[in-house]
Amino acid sequence: MVNNWSDNPEYEHFKYVTAIQSWIKTQPHLPQNIHPILLQRFIHSVYGNVEKAKKLIENSFSMRNNYAHIFLKRDPLSIESKQVFEVADMLPLPYATKENYKIMLYRLANTEAEKFNFTEAIKMFFMVADVRLICMDANEPNSGWNGEVPVFDMNGFSLRHVTCVVLSVLRVYMKYTQECHPVRLRSIHVINCSPYLDRIMAIVRPFMRKEVSKLLHFHKPDSDTLYKFIPKDLLPAEYGGKSGEVKEIKSKFVKLFDSYRDYLLDESRWKLNSINKNNRGSVNVEQEVSGNFRTLCID
């Protein structure tokens, strides 16, 4: 783990963390021990704008508590969590691009649709994200994080998987990642596009903002178009790269991920405090998020 992360020049906004921590003390409905690196992520995602960071934090924790079945009571070592990792790969790749964009790979590890639990997969997605947001070197040798590039591999995804999608959970996923997630999203890549892609996108697009849809890139099976955006060498061996085999990358990351169990289980870091019926923590994030904050983390 990187201990002197505040000395990294890429984290010039660290100086604002103390100001945010002082502000949190005046907001007793918020968790009072939010990890300082997570606070730094919020600040960094909005380019050092402290007021925007405050509202992003408010919205993030409000939404987490409004959908506690996804964001709270999370155990990396639970049977459900282990089953998700048996079915799906959700992996930070070991190397970043020259712009210091981190690459995330999502794909099915087991293509049997009856083993695919969409709600648990989304819950795991946010668990993995929360670990990566505070883990400076999450299986990566360089410690900055100037943006994120997710890669979704559709190989093995069938119409039976589509029937597993829970629309209410998809809506939460899309809303949080587009409005409350403290990362700078740079581009989104869908590879090995299946014949069912149109049906899948018909489900997803109603929840997708125009700014995000512009970041989408689709790549046909056996094409090399992905390499125009991500250097081939940064990808796993299965994709022609040199970053190691997926199972090797996954094994290292899962071990790291499991070591953050106490952090994820500690609800004092995530749960709003109920003070009174007028507590701001009880406000519905559906009404709280303003139009200005619909473009916070999208470049």
pLDDT over 70, % of the chain: 84
What is the reported pTM? 0.86
Nearest to 59 by CA among 42, 40, 37, 36: 42
What mean pLDDT is predicted for residues 93-101?
93
pLDDT over 90, % of the chain: 80
Do residues 241 and 276 both lie within one domain? no
- Domain residues for the domain of 276 are 9-72+265-283
Q: First-to-last CA distance in the chain?
A: 29
pLDDT of residue 270: 97
- Report the CATH number at residue 171: 3.40.525.10
Which residues touch 133 (CB under 8 Å, ≥6 apart)? 37, 38, 41, 182, 183
Q: For residue 298, is it within any domain?
A: no
What mean pLDDT is predicted for residues 275-279?
48
- How many domains does the chain divide into? 2
pLDDT, averaged across the chain: 87
Do residues 129 and 110 both lie within one domain? yes
Q: For residue 155, is it within any domain?
A: yes
> Using CA atoms, how far apart are residues 14 and 20, in angstroms rounded to an integer?
10
**pLDDT: which is higher, 107 or 13:** 107
Q: For residue 289, is it within any domain?
A: no
> Using CA atoms, how far apart are residues 135 and 143, in angstroms rounded to an integer?
9
Do residues 272 and 253 both lie within one domain? no
Do residues 114 and 200 both lie within one domain? yes
pLDDT surpasses 70 at 51: yes
Q: For residue 123, is it within any domain?
A: yes
Do residues 38 and 106 both lie within one domain? no
pLDDT of residue 8: 52
**pLDDT: which is higher, 136 or 209:** 209
Q: For residue 159, is it within any domain?
A: yes
Do residues 159 and 23 both lie within one domain? no
Q: For residue 291, is it within any domain?
A: no
Q: For residue 67, is it within any domain?
A: yes
pLDDT surpasses 90 at 79: yes
Do residues 169 and 195 both lie within one domain? yes
Do residues 175 and 192 both lie within one domain? yes
128-185 pLDDT, tens digit per residue, is 999 999 985 544 444 457 899 999 999 999 999 999 999 999 999 999 999 999 999 9
